[in-house]
Amino acid sequence: MTQPPTVTFSSSIEPLADAPPARADLNGCPWHDVKSMLRQVGLRPTRQRMALGWILFAKGDRHLTAESLYEEATRAKVPVSLATVYNTLHQFTEVGLLRQVAVDGSKTYFDTNASDHHHFFVENEDALVDIPGAEVVVGKAPTPPEGYEVARIDVVVRLRRKDT
Ligand SMILES: [Zn+2]
């Protein structure tokens, strides 16, 4: 008769607090997508990054301000400060997961579609909308100063409602 081998578990098992805030709502489990997405860009999947990433990316392409993401996080009962939301958004932007679209001095949007595209901004409604890819033709990029190259051209076409 042989003794069963003794198995010792290390205590590094992830705490349950890493579970998503509303697992029942998940389809296709984007939680795991967020984790691998963060790992791919070299960001440690901390609980706050995971939670904010999940809120940001589980709903398709959209444009958010730090304040609106903070509101969504609060509604989803994710305990996070506005400062953390700002930091996380900037970290995600630095690694290319988000694109920052500055509309004017006070309004900055974060776009979950990081590919090249342009925007309509509806004044008075603070709405930022994608312009379909084929529709903006930038005739000729300006010649950059010596030692520089054009990294990207962002077009924001500002709209207002017609007087009727
Ligand atoms: Zn966009």
pLDDT digits (tens, 9 = 90+) for 11-28: 333 334 444 444 334 445
| Domain architecture of the chain: domains with CATH | 18-159 (1.10.10.10)
Ligand 1 mean position to 118 CA, how many Å?
7
Residue 29 vs residue 119, higher pLDDT = 119
Ligand 1 mean position to 138 CA, how many Å?
17
Asked if the model's pLDDT at residue 149 lies above 50, the reply is yes
Percent of the chain with pLDDT over 90: 51
Q: What mean pLDDT is predicted for residues 78-105? A: 93
Give the span between the Cα atoms of 94 and 92, in whole angstroms: 6
**In the structure encoding, which two tokens stand for residue 59, read together?**
């709903």
User: Which residues have C-beta within 8 Å of that of residue 126, sequence separation ≥ 6?
Assistant: 107
What pLDDT shows up at residue 142? 86
Its pTM stands at 0.73
Ligand 1 mean position to 34 CA, how many Å?
20
Ligand 1 mean position to 130 CA, how many Å?
5
Ligand 1 mean position to 98 CA, how many Å?
10
